[in-house]
């Protein structure tokens, strides 16, 4: 009979292969003014490096003045209109805003963030995100000044 | 002493029972014009089929012109008002939209999707979603034409 | 050679330590009228009690007339402006609303909930949420009357 240690290895092999894993990576995105910045490829690379082939990925942005959107990534004009819409929906010169210490883009950035959210969870099958043909993941920057945005990507699965 | 294989079976039994599982199902929802289409029962069925009794379910829609909402499902008038609100918040005749190749509902559909999001994560306890008394999950269709919408449902837990 | 039971214990030790866990807790939040109520500390306590040091937490609110926001928690004026914005975006005296049985805050509460969502997923590293310096989690109450709000917190990880 093999030694207990050998048995242990043999017994554990299928267990480890079947076990759920979690793979967490922090990443930074440099933005240069208001707009949307695609990060789909970066998230795809993190999923590949994780070795996880089925499960889900959660992306989170650690800020209150930018957000995340899953948006059409084929024709840039869709994002031009998106930016224009949010500029009008939450104008920088809104007269009743009092939280304006950091400039006219301060309060609108928080509200636009709340309306589009700071996190997205996307399913993974066969090692890749199950995104629709035109879906991409974007950091939605609501500040005029350039920023280094910190994100956390959690890949979860087998 | 029993054979290593028998021991393996005995040793693994509690491990497999305790292990987290992930159960992924793709589903299709046929929509027939703008509005909300309840999918709560379909998601409930997928959870039951997974055998997972505690954990969470993530629902994702693979499109940029429809979205998901967790909305009141008792009185349909609540959803009538929801539709009316979004029709006014992002009008089809918005003069500054340039992304209009696919018709007047093209750009409004993307913006309404961004405002309501493409994914929802809901907790599971005792084999069922922990939804409030009036909460249901709906596909929010933003297109006039009939569509086949593709969704991915990820059940995660034990 | 040790008994099979002893071997079982020794073999299982590293497996259980490596295994993903899910820790689900229901909590209640008392609100006293429209506004935002911070729950960051309560979620932090639940994560500590779970013993999970890396993974993610999903918070879900089981209602259709309140929601969850991850919002700036340093200067309260940011939230004052947030409340004011939503009061204007979805006014209580909107003339075309028909779902008004429970008063003028009935339908606006559902729409504000849809715009800000009922769930948030936040990454966990080294036993704590990876929140930005100014990020806090809040229940966004859209009803005038005091309410007991039921939430489910799912901690997932190792």
Q: What is the per-residue pLDDT across B115-127, written as a single tens digit (0 to 9) for each?
A: 999 999 999 999 9
Q: What is the per-residue pLDDT across C34-68, written as a single tens digit (0 to 9) for each?
A: 999 999 999 999 999 999 999 999 999 999 999 99
d(CA B113, CA B89): 12
Chain A nearest C-alpha distance from C103 (Å): 25
Q: Output the CA–CA distances (angstroms, integers) from residue A21 to A71, C6, C155, C156, in the order listed.
A: 28, 27, 15, 11
Q: What is the per-residue pLDDT across C70-95, written as a single tens digit (0 to 9) for each?
A: 999 999 999 999 999 999 999 999 99
Q: Which pLDDT does position A6 carry in this prediction?
A: 79
Residue A35: CB atoms within 10 A of its CB come to 15
Span B149-157, mean pLDDT?
97
Instruction: Work out whether the CA dihedral C142, C124, B120, B103 comes out positive or negative.
Output: positive
Give me the helix-helix angle, B4-18 and C4-18, nearest 10°: 40
Within 83-122 of A, beta carbons closer than 8 Å to B belong to 84-85, 89, 115-117, 120-122
Q: What is the per-residue pLDDT across A51-76, written as a single tens digit (0 to 9) for each?
A: 999 999 999 999 999 999 999 999 99
% residues pLDDT > 90 (chain A): 87
Q: What is the mean pLDDT of chain C?
A: 94
Select from A132, A137, A140 the residue whose CB has the most chain B CBs within 10 Å, as the one to mutate to test that interface.
A132
pLDDT exceeds 90 at position C19: no
Contacts of A156 in chain C (CB under 8 A): 55-56, 156
Q: Which pLDDT does position C16 carry in this prediction?
A: 63
Q: What is the per-residue pLDDT across B52-72, written as a single tens digit (0 to 9) for each?
A: 999 999 999 999 999 999 999
Q: What is the per-residue pLDDT across A88-134, written as a single tens digit (0 to 9) for each?
A: 999 999 999 999 999 999 999 999 999 999 999 999 999 999 999 99
**Is the ipTM, as predicted for this complex, more than 0.90?**
yes
Side by side, which strands form the sheet with C35-38?
A: C35-38, C135-141, C66-72
Contacts of C154 in chain B (CB under 8 A): 55-56, 123
Model confidence band, residue C97 (pLDDT cutoffs 50, 70, 90): very high
Model confidence band, residue A10 (pLDDT cutoffs 50, 70, 90): confident
Size of the A and B interface in Cβ pairs below 8 Å: 103
Q: Which pLDDT does position C2 carry in this prediction?
A: 73
Task: Decide: pTM greater than 0.90.
Answer: yes
Contact B62, B133 (CB under 8 A): no
d(CA A87, CA A83): 6
């Amino acid at each position: 009979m093999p030694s207990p240690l050998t048995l242990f290895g043999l017994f554990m092999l299928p267990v480890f292969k079947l076990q759920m894993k979690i793979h967490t990576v922090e990443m930074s995105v440099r933005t240069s003014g208001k707009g949307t910045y695609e990060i789909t490829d970066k998230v795809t690379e993190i999923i590949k490096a994780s070795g996880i082939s089925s499960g889900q990925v959660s992306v989170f942005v650690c800020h209150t003045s930018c957000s995340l959107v899953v948006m059409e990534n084929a024709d840039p004009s869709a994002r031009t209109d998106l930016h224009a819409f949010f500029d009008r929906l939450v104008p920088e010169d809104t007269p009743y805003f009092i939280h304006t210490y950091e400039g006219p883009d301060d309060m609108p950035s928080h509200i636009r963030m709340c309306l589009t959210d700071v996190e997205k969870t996307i399913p993974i099958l066969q090692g890749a995100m199950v995104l629709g043909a035109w879906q991409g993941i974007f950091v939605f920057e609501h500040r005029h000044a350039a920023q280094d945005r910190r994100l956390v990507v959690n890949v979860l699965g087998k």
